[in-house]
Amino acid sequence: MNITILGTGFAALTAVKETRKQAPQAEITVIAPSKQLIYLPSIIWIPAREKDGGSLEIDLTNFFEKQNVKYIQASVLNVTNQGRTVVTTDGEYQNDGLIIATGGRFIKKLPGIEHAITPCEGISAAEAIRDRLDNMPEGTIAIGFGGNPNEPSAMRGGPMFEFLFGIDTLLRRQGRRSKFEIIFFNPAPQPGKRLGDKVPNAVLKMMAKKGIKTHLGHKMKGFESNKVITEGGEFDADLILFMPGMTGPAWLQDSEIEKSEGGMIKANALCQVSGLEKTYVAGDSGSYPGPDWQAKQAHAADLQAATATHNLISELRGSVPSETIKHELICIIDTLSHGVFIKRTEQGTILLPPCRLMHYAKKFFEWWYLRQYR
């Protein structure tokens, strides 16, 4: 059986491992523009120089050799023929089973959004924040995130809290926090509610304690080079960090694959692409049924990839796929010195107060997670 996996992010690589474990004889083909994993959770430490961007770019050559993977360097243009054909910049490739893990993209429609840095776009964005901070003697820093109104799960709020608290800690260490005003903005009156009902109050208390101002509950209208504009007013800012909501990958727009209202690949509870056999999706490019607190994060991508792989192999072997997605949200909001641990499942939320140990736990997890790919 030839199983093709699209992408080299968290979901794609978990799908590779699970496929090799469950179907040792399978032919695995990976199609992606780059043979690299970018470990995005750790870019929060780049502005403080606790991480170098190069250390977060993992060359997958050894991993692919170990897993006996055929790698094709190409960008996906479309998926046709009921999922059996992948159209790429390097031609067309056939498969017996397909896992789509090409990731999502940020919605860049707000007027003037080019004046804001979107941190999770990658290492270069985090390095741009570092360089801007280095060259600012004083000023106002605005940090916020938005969502996709048609896809509530398609947002990344956690990293923005980390940049917010991390920059506050960095400026205090440098002895120049008093020269800066930090403003957190968000269209929601209670940002972070996806993480659990107790989280918004806890996070807002942390902000108040650190002298971080807030501008909440007003729909975004746009940006200027030194201004954040909302329906509830505008304010000046010398540096703007903004994470917009997400939608599906660019190639999906003209595809026949069924899309959700938010422009993502529509999947069922098995991670199976709507209306297609032996075709699954995992990670940020998919829209999945489940609780309204689902989020786009690496841990969720790993869980979806495990489900997708199990079901695809079952289907290829002639069985009826039956494994459903495990919904679980785990994160540590890091402040450079402490970490706030949050875990949410369908049973409830665990929220621990800021703890120095959690800061080191997050760093240890990076080492532990990446050793399998190095």
The alpha carbon dihedral of 361, 363, 369, 372 has a sign of negative
Considering the domain 2-105+247-316 in this protein, what is its CATH number?
A: 3.50.50.60
User: What's the pLDDT score for residue 74?
Assistant: 98
User: What's the pLDDT score for residue 194?
Assistant: 84
Cα 8 to Cα 34, 63, 208, 285, distances in angstroms: 8, 11, 40, 13
Q: Poorest-confidence range of 291-295, 301-305, 337-341? A: 291-295
Percent of the chain, pLDDT > 90? Answer: 94
Written out in words, the top-level CATH class of the domain with range 107-245 is: alpha beta
Dist. CA 223–CA 236, nearest whole Å: 10
| Higher pLDDT, residue 221 or 156 | 221
User: What's the pLDDT score for residue 308?
Assistant: 98
The set of residues, in sequence order, having a beta carbon less than 8 Å from that of 320 and lying 6+ positions away, is 314
* Residues 41-53: tens digit of each pLDDT: 999 999 999 999 9
* Residues 272-287: tens digit of each pLDDT: 999 999 999 999 999 9
- How confident is residue 195, by pLDDT bands cut at 50, 70 and 90? confident
Closest CA to 303 of 321, 286, 319: 286
| Residue located via tokens 């080079």 | 225
* Residues 330-352: tens digit of each pLDDT: 999 999 999 999 999 999 999 99
User: What's the pLDDT score for residue 153?
Assistant: 86
User: What's the pLDDT score for residue 168?
Assistant: 98
* Residues 145-157: tens digit of each pLDDT: 999 999 988 888 8
- How confident is residue 137, by pLDDT bands cut at 50, 70 and 90? very high
User: What's the pLDDT score for residue 295?
Assistant: 85
Provide CATH 3.50.50.60 ranges for the chain. 2-105+247-316, 107-245
Dist. CA 363–CA 157, nearest whole Å: 20
CA 210 and chain centroid, separation: 27
Specify which residues 222 forms β-bridges with. 229
Whether 226 has a pLDDT exceeding 90, the answer reads yes
Whether 110 has a pLDDT exceeding 90, the answer reads yes
Closest CA to 146 of 112, 109, 121: 109
User: What's the pLDDT score for residue 138?
Assistant: 98
**Average of per-residue pLDDT across 34-47:** 97
Q: Supply 91's token pair.
A: 């031609």
Q: The whole model's pTM is what?
A: 0.95
Q: Supply 200's token pair.
A: 């918004």
Cα 43 to Cα 24, 124, 250, 370, distances in angstroms: 35, 9, 24, 14
The DSSP annotation for 299-311 comes to HHHHHHHHHHHHH
- How confident is residue 205, by pLDDT bands cut at 50, 70 and 90? very high
Residue 4 φ/ψ region, left for φ over 0, alpha for ψ in the -120 to 50 degree band, beta for the rest: beta
Q: Supply 259's token pair.
A: 């899309």
Dist. CA 192–CA 162, nearest whole Å: 12
User: What's the pLDDT score for residue 310?
Assistant: 98
User: What's the pLDDT score for residue 341?
Assistant: 97
